[in-house]
Structure 1
């Protein structure tokens, strides 16, 4: 069958569509496979299904039609609340499970809009589960809230960003505004520091270092936006 290359995420890797499946080079995804298999058994609908390994040693997943997004203009009313609800479902489904390894739950680890499939402007599934791991809810939620709602580029009014943040938080539920804002700032700082180290690591390829440079600038600019407008975000979350 014909292989169609797929683009997505922020780090290039081999990902192709074959019929109604997605096939990609395995990156030691045994934990992700266990998580996806478990999520299928409990009826969690917002993730691809793992279908096995093909003749080339690539992991095979169900293909989920739709697109990723990088601007609010590409998202429909209700998208932010739906995204929050999707993430809450993952956390609740894995809370206290053995996969959580004694932590609060399993987190996706990289649930940005670039790893979310949208249909008609609404999110339907998280993809790219390589970063899933045992963790704390707020780490995942802080990253989701940042990458979906905070945008120093794209000329999105801060008032709109604050409104989207409120919608996302309400979709997830039960998180105080100051707690969420601190989680956002913490994740922005962590990404900036991690990617700064990657930028300086000579073992990485030029493409990886280029991504690291972009990521440092992205996280730093978005963190500065939150810091400048912190009171407006907090007011929206009251």
Structure 2
């Protein structure tokens, strides 16, 4: 077992993150106790999430270290892998239905959903998915009240690689694979294209407004490439709404998917 701290990359919004042995240590922030309880409740319902391990002697939060490869380093994922990701997200959402939202009126979410009714990860993206012997979503520090639609919209856009420069036809296939894996019903499929556009635009606006106010770490992220990425992504998602609507129609959901 490694007994020296190794600094880990990422953690844009959570401060310094290190690995110590088979654990991850990071700052204990305002919602950490709630997040650790949420992780424990998900694990009790069969979701493979990092094991919460409380607080160390330096006051840092401790969670299980999950070894493997980031999905971000394997993009674009194969269609069968996107089906698997969709199933994982559905299991998280279904399990969260049984977990009450602590202090439902006391949350200040960066990108709040309309009428939040479900505890969600809020950053289900390739940079937070470990693959290998286990497939596990990590970095739950942004967890809080949201909705299936708002959480899925972000995941679908990011895993589907609905970003500027991607062929629309290929992006649409990836989108549908994840949504099919989720098992989305008609109402969710119909609402998703507009929600993806709104969610991507909200991310860009958070970065843009933070650059004006100096709100960190988002202000720095805005000028180091994230702002331009999300500006272009929001325009791409909005510009191709017809393609997303067409591929998500229920009548085509049963047709074969091919890479």
TM-score range, shorter chain: 0.7 to 0.9
Q: CA deviation at 1:79?
A: 1.6
Does the C-alpha gap of structure 1 residues 20 and 109 become closer, same or farther in structure 2, counting only changes over 3 Å?
same
Kindly indicate whether residue 205 of structure 2 is the aligned counterpart of residue 190 of structure 1.
Answer: no
Deviates more, 1:63-72 or 1:21-30: 63-72
Task: Please name the residue that 1:162 is paired with.
Answer: 172
Kindly indicate whether residue 183 of structure 2 is the aligned counterpart of residue 173 of structure 1.
Answer: yes
Does the C-alpha gap of structure 1 residues 73 and 132 become closer, same or farther in structure 2, counting only changes over 3 Å?
closer
How many correspondences in the alignment?
A: 232
Does the C-alpha gap of structure 1 residues 193 and 175 become closer, same or farther in structure 2, counting only changes over 3 Å?
farther
Per the alignment, in what secondary structure is the counterpart of residue 223 of structure 1? helix
Kindly indicate whether residue 44 of structure 2 is the aligned counterpart of residue 33 of structure 1.
Answer: no
Q: CA deviation at 1:124?
A: 0.9
Kindly indicate whether residue 203 of structure 2 is the aligned counterpart of residue 200 of structure 1.
Answer: no
When normalised by structure 1's length, the TM-score is 0.87
What whole-Å deviation, never above 9, does each CA across 1:178-224 have from its counterpart, x for those lacking one?
A: 3111110110121122221111113x35x642203433322221121
Task: Please name the residue that 2:129 is paired with.
Answer: 116
Query: Do 1:48 and 1:125's aligned partners in 2 also have CA atoms closer than 8 Å?
Result: yes
Task: Please name the residue that 1:125 is paired with.
Answer: 136
Does the C-alpha gap of structure 1 residues 105 and 7 become closer, same or farther in structure 2, counting only changes over 3 Å?
same
Query: Do 1:16 and 1:24's aligned partners in 2 also have CA atoms closer than 8 Å?
Result: yes
Does the C-alpha gap of structure 1 residues 86 and 198 become closer, same or farther in structure 2, counting only changes over 3 Å?
same
Which residues of structure 2 form unaligned runs of 5+?
105-114, 250-259
| C-alpha distance in structure 2 between counterparts of 1:137 and 1:59, whole Å | 27
When normalised by structure 2's length, the TM-score is 0.81
Query: Do 1:11 and 1:211's aligned partners in 2 also have CA atoms closer than 8 Å?
Result: no
Which residues of structure 1 form unaligned runs of 5+?
none
Picking from 109, 119, 124, the partner of 1:106 is 119
Per the alignment, in what secondary structure is the counterpart of residue 18 of structure 2? strand
Task: Please name the residue that 2:148 is paired with.
Answer: 137
| C-alpha distance in structure 2 between counterparts of 1:132 and 1:12, whole Å | 12
Task: Please name the residue that 1:16 is paired with.
Answer: 18
**RMSD of the TM alignment (CA)?**
2.3
Does the C-alpha gap of structure 1 residues 96 and 64 become closer, same or farther in structure 2, counting only changes over 3 Å?
closer
| C-alpha distance in structure 2 between counterparts of 1:67 and 1:180, whole Å | 29
Kindly indicate whether residue 229 of structure 2 is the aligned counterpart of residue 218 of structure 1.
Answer: yes
Does the C-alpha gap of structure 1 residues 150 and 37 become closer, same or farther in structure 2, counting only changes over 3 Å?
same
What whole-Å deviation, never above 9, does each CA across 1:90-127 have from its counterpart, x for those lacking one?
A: 1111115323749432111111111111227xx81111
